[in-house]
């Protein structure tokens, strides 16, 4: 099949979270299976400067209409591996920036224009570049307008640009909601600015367009598929999602085992496997060193790698500061985002630097070291569409402590509830229940045989993308 992906993040060219890992691994796995895969990504500074893009060949020029303006851009194409092409949609005014969505304090003010332009450019390239796509697969709100624009362009030009479109919701909490005036920038017919179109409480909602107009809709875990049809998790789009229930499926993400695999991980000071954990002890020693902790410490290390947002349950961790200060354990946090959360974590680390370490950098190597060197990985999310870190943890023999929501439930089994199959510990999404789970972690850690059994079961799990990509393959074939 000819499969086109459209996304605002793609590892290793631009990443703020799991979206980049998921799209990168899926595209690569589909290419390995012999499909012809193209990925469209905005031409951010880091992507254009990436060494893979140095040989970027074709520079196609295009122009798209954005409201009353005609805006030009160019496309750079390169191929990092067989069957895989990356198309960077470049326009310096919009994408020659360091961060994809905002300056750290708030979102960029021109995000509506930036991503409407991006989606229009993709559709225009499908038209003039004659890609002959079987499936166009769009990810999250930044790409959500593509299924709408594509069918509109087909109608206007009397051509077929893609046989089928798929829209994946990686996170329904981010919808791309903009003031009503932004609708004019799409140049879509006014009838699409209604309740059964993009209109949303007198604004426009780009994700709503993707959900309504794609041929198939997916989310990244079976549990999240059910959750987003409820008012509690649907973030206002639960009713819209329900209208697509017949075309909706939850496909779990996987782990890219060329990148997240302790046996080959070049970012670690030592490699290891379930059969020989000596390298994990080296990683632990290195993590203690990086945290500035005493090297002889023998107790449990709790690790966290996360965007600092309400979603990730950071406040439940902060509410348990007495636990981390009082118990004989260490806490290592790598995360950035919400300034208040950063500040409170910084205060916690300052209160006991011998026990708590915080880095607010974006640090790929440190994220691998935390997964490998910790004993427990803490991820008490309020909601979690899929979550990758709890899977990475299991692969790295680090026991995840997660909350009972979304993809976390689909990927972790509680070792106390299910002693013969458990791979982690599950709490409810609140501070008290997290405290209870942290206490259970301490108990598990002191029971060496049981701890080792949980760890071995976790490491034996197969989360490879070959399995996950097979689900998408079947979905594409089925829709065709």
Residue 220 binding result from ligand ADP, ligand GLC, none, given CB thresholds of 5 to 8 Å by partner type: ligand GLC
Q: Point out which span in 17-25, 285-293, 327-335, 458-466 binds ligand GLC (CB under 6 A).
A: 17-25
**Per-residue mark of binding to ligand ADP, 260-299 (x: CB under 6 A):** ----------------------------------------
For residue 44 the two structure tokens come to: 């951010």
For residue 357, list its beta bridge partners: 332
338 to 397, contacts with ligand ADP by CB under 6 A?
362-364, 367, 386-389
CB closer to ligand ADP out of 205 and 336: 336
364 CB-near residues (< 8 Å, 6+ apart): 267
Pick what 364 binds: ligand GLC, ligand ADP, none; C-beta below 5 to 8 Å, kind-dependent.
ligand ADP
The one among 170, 271, 355, 457 contacting ligand GLC by CB under 6 A: 170
Q: Which is nearer to ligand GLC, 28 or 327 (CB)?
A: 28
Q: Rounded CA gap, 441 and 415, in Å?
A: 10
Query: By CB under 6 A, what part of segment 200-239 binds ligand GLC?
Result: 220
Describe the strand order of the beta sheet including 248-250 as a list of residue ranges: 59-66, 69-81, 84-90, 36-42, 2-6, 133-139, 162-169, 216-219, 248-250
Give the C-alpha separation, 464 to 15, whole Å: 20
Which of 379, 295, 297 has its CA nearest to residue 333? Answer: 379
Q: Segment near ligand ADP (CB under 6 A), from 18-26, 49-57, 140-148, 341-349?
A: 18-26
Closest C-alpha to 42, from 83, 85, 6, 84: 6
Is-contact 267 371, C-beta < 8 A?
A: no
Smallest gap, in angstroms, from Cβ of residue 293 to ligand GLC?
30
Confirm if 35 and 51 have CB atoms less than 8 A apart: no
- Is residue 306 within the footprint of ligand ADP (CB under 6 A)? yes
Taking CB within 5 to 8 Å according to partner kind, which of ligand ADP, ligand GLC, none is near residue 226? none
Least Å distance, CB 171 to ligand GLC, is 4
Q: Which is nearer to ligand ADP, 364 or 447 (CB)?
A: 364
List the single partner that 9 binds among ligand ADP, ligand GLC, none, CB under 5 to 8 Å by kind: none
Give the gyration radius of the chain's Cα atoms: 23
Task: Scan for tokens 């122009």, then name that residue.
Answer: 63
Closest Cα to residue 404, out of 386, 439, 368, 380? 380
Distance of closest approach, residue 385 Cβ to ligand GLC, in angstroms: 4
Q: Is 17 in the site for ligand GLC (CB under 6 A)?
A: yes
Residues 367-386 that bind ligand GLC (CB under 6 A): 384-386
How would you label 204-218 residue by residue, b for 16+ Cβ within 10 Å and e otherwise? bbbbbbbbbbbbbbb
Per the CB < 8 A criterion, the answer to whether 222 and 404 are in contact is no
Considering only 19, 126, 329, 413, the residue that binds ligand GLC (CB under 6 A) is: 19
Q: Quote the least distance from Cβ 391 to ligand ADP, whole Å.
A: 8
Query: Cα separation of 237 and 401, whole Å?
Result: 29
Residue 285 and residue 282: Cα distance in Å, rounded? 5
Q: Which partner from the list ligand ADP, ligand GLC, none does 334 bind, CB cut-off 5 to 8 Å by kind? A: ligand ADP
28 belongs to the binding site for ligand ADP (CB under 6 A): no
Q: Say how far residue 220 (Cα) sits from the centre of its chain.
A: 9
**How many Å apart are CA 253 and CA 238, to the nearest integer?**
22
Alpha carbons 404 and 384: distance in angstroms, whole number: 9
Nearest residue to ligand GLC on Cβ basis: 18
Shortest Å distance, C-beta 272 to ligand ADP: 19
253 near ligand GLC, judged by CB under 6 A: yes
96: partner contacted, choices ligand ADP, ligand GLC, none (Cβ within 5-8 A by kind): none
How many binding residues for ligand GLC (CB under 6 A)? 14
**Residue 54 neighbours by CB under 8 Å, 6+ apart:** none
Three-state SS for 160?
A: coil
Tell me the window of 18-26, 148-156, 435-443, 460-468 that interacts with ligand GLC (CB under 6 A). 18-26
Residue ranges binding ligand ADP (CB under 6 A): 17-19, 21, 305-307, 334-336, 362-364, 367, 386-389
Which residues in this chain contact ligand GLC in the complex, by CB under 6 A? 17-19, 22, 170-171, 220, 253, 384-388, 407
């Amino acid at each position: 099949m000819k499969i086109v992906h459209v996304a605002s993040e793609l590892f290793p060219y631009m990443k703020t979270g799991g979206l980049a890992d998921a799209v990168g691994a899926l595209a690569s796995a589909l290419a390995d299976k012999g499909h012809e895969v193209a990925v469209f990504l905005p031409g951010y500074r880091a992507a254009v400067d990436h060494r893979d893009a140095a040989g970027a060949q074709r520079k196609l020029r295009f122009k798209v209409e954005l409201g009353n303006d005609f805006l030009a851009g160019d496309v750079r194409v390169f191929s990092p591996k067989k069957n895989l092409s990356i198309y960077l949609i470049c326009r310096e005014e919009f994408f020659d920036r360091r961060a994809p969505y905002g300056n750290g304090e708030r979102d960029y003010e021109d995000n509506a224009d930036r991503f409407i332009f991006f989606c229009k450019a993709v559709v225009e390239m499908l038209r003039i570049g004659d890609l002959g796509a079987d499936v166009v697969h769009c990810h999250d709100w930044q790409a959500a307008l593509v299924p709408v624009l594509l069918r509109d362009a087909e109608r206007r030009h009397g051509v077929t640009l893609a046989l089928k479109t798929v829209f994946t919701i990686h996170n329904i909490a981010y919808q791309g909601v903009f003031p009503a005036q932004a609708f004019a920038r799409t140049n879509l017919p006014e009838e699409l600015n209604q309740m059964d179109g993009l209109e949303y409480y007198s604004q426009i909602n780009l994700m709503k367009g993707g959900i309504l107009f794609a041929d198939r809709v997916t989310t990244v875990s079976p549990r999240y598929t059910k959750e987003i049809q409820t008012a509690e998790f649907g973030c206002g789009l639960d009713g819209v999602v329900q209208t697509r229930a017949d075309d909706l499926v939850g496909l779990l993400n996987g782990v890219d085992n060329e990148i997240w695999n302790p046996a080959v991980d070049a970012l670690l000071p030592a490699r290891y496997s379930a059969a020989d954990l000596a390298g994990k002890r080296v990683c632990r020693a290195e993590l203690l060193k990086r945290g500035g902790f005493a090297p002889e410490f023998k107790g449990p290390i709790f690790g966290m790698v996360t965007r600092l947002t309400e979603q990730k349950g950071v406040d439940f961790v902060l509410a348990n500061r007495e636990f981390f200060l009082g118990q004989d354990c260490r806490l290592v946090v790598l995360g950035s985002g919400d300034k208040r959360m950063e500040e409170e974590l910084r205060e916690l680390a300052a209160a006991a630097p011998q026990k708590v370490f915080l880095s607010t950098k974006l640090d790929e190597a440190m994220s691998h070291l935390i997964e490998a060197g910790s004993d427990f990985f803490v991820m008490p999310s309020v909601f979690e569409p899929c979550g990758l870190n709890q899977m990475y943890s299991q692969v790295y023999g680090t026991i995840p402590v997660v909350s009972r929501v979304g993809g976390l439930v689909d990927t972790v089994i509680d070792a106390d509830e299910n002693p013969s199959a458990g791979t982690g510990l599950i709490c409810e999404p609140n501070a008290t229940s997290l405290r209870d789970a942290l206490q259970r972690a301490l108990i598990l850690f002191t029971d060496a045989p049981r701890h080792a059994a949980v760890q071995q079961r976790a490491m034996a799990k197969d989360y490879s993308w070959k399995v996950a990509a097979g689900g998408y393959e079947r979905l594409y074939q089925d829709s065709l």
